[in-house]
Amino acid sequence: MRVILFGATGMVGQGVLRECLLDDRVEAVLSIGRSATGQRRAKFREIVHADLFDLSALADELTGYDACFFCLGVSSVGMTAEEYKRITHDLTLTIAGTFARLNPAMTFIYLSAAGSDRTGRSRARWARLRGAAENDLLELPFKVVCSFRPFLIVPLDGIRSKTRVYRVTYTLLGPLLPALAAAFPKYVTTTRRLGRAMLAVAAGGAPLQVLENADINRLGEGAA
């Protein structure tokens, strides 16, 4: 497989990138983002691009890929409604629309969140926007579109979150986190399982359009 990854410097993206580099089924990984990862591997290449809303200058380099792992995302805390919509919904659909034109046979995997609402009735703005992004992605002519909805993600393999509140939480919980992931698969997953589950969908298709935390764990464990 040849895969493209957005969000490779984030906590989930780091985990997905790690699993891609370890997986023999993946022959090439292209990361696109605003900052470099610092990774140096034979099958890894990255493009640092300031304006992710406009990928037209990269069009010649974006064809011939089998899957896109879209792991960009921000917390809604402290953001205006318009700012959050612009990043969570508009950027997602802009990038996905570009790939739908260039790689219609591609599998597009979207990192959503537990509690996202595709009905538009949730009181939580972030849940409605995430759900709207999931719905709109399904309208694009990809081979497969699958949304991942993890709840609590435990970072493994030296991976750290860029969000301060998450880093503090993980530090406080410390060694309890792996035990929580094992004891509560409905609510807790790991960066390792998440990355392996995304690869499983890219390689074999999605059992469901939306994968909740327990589904992610089943796929991730099976892939292992």
Angle at 18 between CA 38 and CA 164, to 5 degrees: 70
Residue type, 81: A
44 and 31 Cβ atoms separated by less than 8 Å = yes
What integer pLDDT is reported at residue 73 of this predicted model?
A: 80
Q: What is the pLDDT of residue 81?
A: 81
Nearest to 125 by CA among 77, 169, 71: 77
Q: Are 187 and 161 in contact (CB under 8 A)?
A: no
Return the sign of the alpha-carbon dihedral for residues 128, 205, 32, 168.
positive
Taking phi over 0 as left and psi of -120 to 50 as alpha, with beta for the rest, 56 belongs to: alpha
Ordered domains of the chain (ranges, CATH): 2-223 (3.40.50.720)
Rounded Cα gap, residues 110 and 35, in angstroms = 20
Q: Which two tokens stand for residue 183?
A: 């004891």
pLDDT tens digits along 44-86 = 999 999 999 999 999 999 999 999 999 998 777 677 888 889 9
pTM: 0.91
Which pair of structure tokens corresponds to residue 50?
Answer: 């300031």
The residue ranges of the chain whose pLDDT is under 70 are: 77, 163-174, 223-224
Q: CA-CA-CA-CA torsion for 148, 152, 156, 160, nearest 10 degrees?
A: 100
Which pLDDT does position 170 carry in this prediction?
67
